């Protein structure tokens, strides 16, 4: 992950409001005796069929969850469970060609949400981006992208960042090649590693 280290160093060297306390990190690490094992979907809010449709779901979920939800009645759990219900009702809801055509009102209907979503236009744009890129480069299936990574989280980060620029932390940081894209790549790597243990393990 040399790119992550190099580009993170670029940000750190220019930071003025936030600094890293190395001694503090060492103290915290020294107190960690073990990391508890937690099942990825212990809340039961995510769609999971142990197959390609789960991967498609995760891409859609991550694209829409690119920032915090400034709505006291709507949060990540609502998004995850809403998309889960939509997919259970219609297995083709996240097909690449359909992702390219969703409108704001249709997305609200998909989530069973009564009013405009926060940053609705941007969330719809990212949904379209996912559909377009999956259809153009991966035969419409996010699982094909994952298979191309050879079970390497590093390859997954690079591939997703290359094809889905909309998932980046901010356009300014991406312009300077920041490689720790907050949503699409690292979170997806974590999702897949936890969601598909064993035969699909990432390293």
Query: Which pLDDT belongs to residue 38?
Result: 67
Q: Is 54 helix (H, G, I), strand (E, B) or coil?
A: helix
Residue 12 lies in a domain: no
Q: What is the DSSP string of 25-46?
A: HHHHHHH--------TTTTS-S
Residue 145 belongs to a domain: yes
pTM above 0.85, yes or no: no
Answer whether residue 14 is part of any domain. no
In a domain, 43, yes or no: no
Classify residue 23: in a domain, yes or no. Answer: no
In a domain, 162, yes or no: yes
Render pLDDT for 59-75 as a digit per residue (tens, 0 to 9): 899 889 877 677 888 88
**Is 35 inside a domain boundary?**
no
Where residue 102 falls among pLDDT bands split at 50, 70, 90?
very high
Given a contact cutoff of 8 angstroms between Cβ atoms, the answer to whether 91 and 51 are in contact is no
Structural domain boundaries enclosing 138: 52-200
Contact 5, 157 (CB under 8 A): no
Q: Which residues, 6+ apart, have CB-to-CB distance to 142 below 8 Å?
A: 52, 55, 56, 58, 59, 130, 134
Helices (H), strands (E): how many in the chain? 11, 0
More confident residue, 184 or 96: 96
Q: Cα–Cα distances in Å, from 11 out to 14, 108, 150, 173?
A: 5, 36, 30, 8
Q: Tokens in use for 109?
A: 């209907």
In a domain, 31, yes or no: no
User: Using N-to-C axis directions, what is the helix angle for 120-137 and 104-111, rounded to 10°?
Assistant: 90
Q: How far apart are the first and last CA of the chain?
A: 12
The answer to whether 127 touches 60, Cβ cutoff 8 Å, is yes
Count of domains forming the chain = 1
pLDDT for residue 73: 85
**Assigned token pair, 151:** 């079970």
Secondary element (H or E) of residue 145 = helix 142-148
């Amino acid at each position: 992950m040399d790119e992550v280290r190099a580009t993170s160093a670029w940000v750190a060297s220019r930071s003025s409001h936030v600094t890293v306390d190395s001694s503090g990190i060492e103290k915290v690490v020294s107190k960690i005796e073990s990391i508890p094992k937690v099942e990825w979907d212990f809340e039961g809010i995510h769609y999971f069929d142990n197959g390609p449709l789960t991967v498609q779901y995760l891409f859609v979920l991550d694209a829409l969850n690119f920032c915090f939800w400034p709505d006291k009645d709507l949060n990540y759990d609502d998004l995850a469970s809403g998309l889960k219900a939509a997919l259970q009702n219609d297995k083709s809801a996240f097909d690449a060609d359909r992702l390219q055509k969703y409108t704001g009102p249709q997305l609200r209907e998909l989530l069973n949400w009564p009013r405009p979503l926060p940053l609705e236009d941007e969330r719809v744009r990212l949904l379209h981006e996912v559909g377009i890129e999956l259809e153009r480069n991966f035969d419409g299936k996010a699982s094909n992208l994952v298979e191309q990574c050879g079970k390497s989280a590093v390859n997954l980060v690079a591939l997703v960042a290359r094809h889905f620029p909309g998932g980046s932390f901010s356009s300014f940081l991406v312009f300077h090649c920041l490689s720790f894209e907050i949503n699409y790549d690292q979170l997806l790597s974590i999702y897949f590693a936890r969601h598909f243990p064993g035969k699909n393990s990432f390293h």
